[in-house]
Structures are given as structure tokens and as C-alpha cells.
Amino acid sequence: MSGKEVRMGENKKGFFGRLVEGLSKTRNNIVAGIESIFSGFSSIDDEFYEELEEILIMADIGINTTGSIISDLKQKVKEARIKEPKECKELLIQSIMDQMKVTEAAYDFENQKSIVLLIGVNGVGKTTSVGKLAGQLKDKGKKVMVAAADTFRAAAIEQLTEWANRAGVEIIAQKEGSDPAAVIYDAVTSAKARGTDVLICDTAGRLHNKKNLMEELKKIDRVITREYTDAYRETLLVLDGTTGQNALSQAKQFKEIADITGIILTKLDGTAKGGIAIAIQAELGIPVKYIGIGEHIDDLQKFNAGDFVNALFN
Ligand SMILES: Nc1nc2c(ncn2[C@@H]2O[C@H](COP(=O)(O)OP(=O)(O)OP(=O)(O)O)[C@@H](O)[C@H]2O)c(=O)[nH]1
């Protein structure tokens, strides 16, 4: 079966169906537990809340966010004078959504001349996400260029070249070990000359040397400020969803060194820890803009908190 046939088959399931399927491991983890307490308990008591707390923590929603959800739910249950456990499912969903409230996830970079930087440690799915995003924007009729500014590993440059070929977009790359800011300079110059709409840059992210990383990002920032003044800026932090709470602490560290405008949470198809998306928005206040739910080009989806929570709990 060709890639196109697979994609058409998948599209038939619809956006929500694919989301539910992609999140199946986290969903199975939550749904069984939720159903058993909503049907198993005859009243909403301390034991009920304790079990619910355990389920949320198991799904990697995290202790802090879970605590806030539970206390908010208790308040809502009290106000609505609800007595039956099964009646409070909708209130639980509402409590989770309330915790996830962040400034609206805007995708303004799609509709104007822009430069999008993807940052994140190696192996989280950065290069793959650059490729997927490039392919999707190209399909929308945008003139897209990608830049291989993660020059640490030759394999990363090769991988991005493959994605660029697959997506049918231009790529700017130099050899392994070259200065990332020099790659960005090259890319910006080419993007301006060729009338590129969206320039997407795969950048480095070695957190074990935070000072160097900070210097590297600052240098990139200076080049863009100087050379591409009128371009809209987007900085997306890529996190591996399978690492659960580690992804959250990684995000906290990156937040100290970069102006992150959104998060891409990858590999949610391979994990039962998808609740981390809830913790990230609740604790960091940064919108999750995309989630990765597979390796196909279409498996990078815009994140919608309502759809996400409904896909997990219903
Ligand atoms: N199942 C699944 N796999 C993914 C997803 N996103 C990325 N991957 C896989 O994760 C692996 C690592 O992805 P890369 O894109 O190479 O990660 P990277 O952060 O660029 O890492 P370097 O290339 O080492 O810098 C690859 O095998 C991808 O195919 C996803 O949403 N779901």
C-alpha cells in the first residue's frame, strides 16, 4: 500500500477518531479507572476523591495539577449539589479544562512572512516535527523553507534533508559542526531572496551545557533581529511525551533560557503518559500548539484542549 493510500484510509476515520486512536494508551489507562470509580462508588466521599486522584496521577497529570483539579472539582460538586459519582464526570472534565486555561494558542505564523524555531533536546522528535510542519504548510499552498541549524550530528542534517525532499520544500544546510547562527544567516538570506512565506529552523538543544546553549540561542536571535526584522517569530519547544514528568522539568529549564511561544508534544501515540499535556499547560502557562501521534506527516495535529480532554475521558 502506498503512503497516499494509508493517509486516505486514515482520513476517513476523521480528525477526532484519529486523535482517540493516537491517544489510546493514555486513554485506556484513564477510561477503565474512571469508569470503575464512577460506577463503583455509591457516594462522593473522601475515598472516591482519593481514587480519582490516583488515576489522574497515574496518567502523568502530576501531583500539583491533580491537586488543583481535585480541589476545584470538590468546589464544583458542592455548588451543583451533586450526590451521584456518575453525575460529576462532566464537572471533572470542566475542572481539567479550567486548569488548562492559557492565552489562546495562535497560529499567526501560518499567515504571514515568518520564521519558526524548533528547540529541544536530541531525540525528542524535533527534526521529524520540522518535516511534518513543513509538509503541512506546503500542502496549504505556502512557500516553505527549512534550515538545518542543529549542526551537532550529521545524521540530523541527513534526516532533515530526507524530510525536505519528502515534503517538497527547500532546505538550507551546511556541514556537521558548522555554526548554527551561520546556517540561520544563510537561510534568512535565501528566504528573503526567494520570497519564502515560512522558514522553519531545526535548532540545537543540549541542555547539559546550558550556558553554551543560551549563547547559541542568543546568537541566533541576534542574526534574526538584524537580518529578518519584519518576519513574525515563533519559538516552539519540542518535548517527548513518553518522558512524562521529565518533559515538564525540561520545559521549566528551557523556559528560563528562551522565549517559548508554544509547545510541540511528540510521541503521544506510544505512551500512557499523555496527561502530561494537561500538566504542561496548567503549570507552565505555555500553550501546547501541536501534538505528535505517530510518524506519518499527518500525525502532527493542532492541539485543542477540549478535544484532547474529551478524547481521553469519553
Ligand atoms: N511514534 C512516534 N514517533 C515519533 C513522533 N515524533 C517523532 N517520532 C520518532 O522519534 C524519533 C526521534 O525523532 P527525531 O525527529 O530524530 O528527533 P530529534 O529531536 O530531531 O533528534 P536528533 O535528530 O537526534 O536531533 C524518530 O524515530 C521519529 O520517527 C511521534 O509523534 N510518534
pLDDT of 226-243, one tens digit each?
999 999 999 999 999 999
The answer to whether 231 and 224 have CB atoms below 8 angstroms apart is: yes
143: left (phi over 0), alpha (psi -120 to 50) or beta: beta
Is the CB of 18 within 6 Å of ligand 1?
no
Query: Is the model's pLDDT at 35 over the cut of 60?
Result: yes
Reported as a single tens digit per residue, the pLDDT across 62-97 is: 999 999 999 999 999 999 999 888 888 899 999 999
Q: Are residues 26 and 123 in the same domain?
A: no
Determine which of 95-104, 128-137, 161-170 has the lowest per-residue pLDDT on average.
95-104
Q: Residue 118 domain-assigned? A: yes
Please give the sequence-ordered ranges of beta strands (E in DSSP) within 173-244, or none if there are none: 198-203, 232-240
Are residue 81 and residue 116 in the same domain, yes or no?
A: no
User: Does 154 sit in the ligand 1 pocket, CB within 6 Å?
Assistant: no
How far apart CA 66 and CA 31 sit, in angstroms, is 16
> Would you say 266 is a known binding-site residue?
yes
Q: Is residue 249 a part of any domain in this protein?
A: yes
Q: Is residue 280 part of a domain?
A: yes
Based on the domain organization, do 58 and 180 belong to the same domain? no
> Does 162 sit in the ligand 1 pocket, CB within 6 Å?
no
Q: Over the stretch 48-59, which tens digit does the pLDDT of each residue have?
A: 999 999 999 988
Number of domains in the chain: 2
Ligand 1 midpoint to CA 148 (Å):
15
Report the CATH number at residue 62. 1.20.120.140
DSSP label of 147:
E
Residue-number span of the structural domain to which 44 is assigned: 17-99
In a domain, 23, yes or no: yes
ipTM of the complex: 0.93
Residue 157, ligand 1, Cβ within 6 A: no
C-alpha cell at 308: 484532547
The SS3 of residue 119 is strand
Final residue of a structural domain among 99, 122, 154: 99
CB of 126 shorter than 6 A to ligand 1? yes
| 133 and 151 housed in the same domain | yes
Beta-carbon neighbour count of residue 280 at 10 Å? Answer: 26
Same domain as 244, residue 114: yes
Nearest Cα neighbor of 250 from 280, 228, 225, 213 is 280
> Is 271 touching ligand 1 by the criterion CB < 6 Å?
no
CA of 155 to the centre of ligand 1 (A): 12
Angle, CA 64 vertex, CA 58 and CA 65 arms, to 5°: 70
Q: Judge if 117 and 256 occupy the same domain.
A: yes
Tell me whether residue 122 is annotated as binding.
yes
Domain's final residue, options 78, 99, 120 = 99
Query: 124 among the known binding-site residues?
Result: yes
Centre of ligand 1 to C-alpha 128, Å, is 5
Which CATH number characterizes residue 174's domain?
A: 3.40.50.300
pTM confidence score? 0.90
Q: Quick one: average pLDDT of 25-49? A: 87
- Which residues does 240 contact at the CB level (< 8 Å), separation at least 6? 123, 124, 125, 247, 266, 267
CB–CB of 232/115 below 8 Å? yes
Of 23, 26, 128, 299, the residue with max ligand 1 atoms within 8 A of its CB, to mutate for a pocket test, comes to 128
Decide: 145 and 195 in contact? Cβ < 8 Å: no
Neighbours of 11 (CB within 10 A): 12
Report whether residue 170 contacts ligand 1, using a CB cutoff of 6 Å.
no
Measured CA to CA, the distance from residue 273 to residue 60 in angstroms comes to 5
Pick from 208, 179, 206: which is nearest to 122 by CA? 206
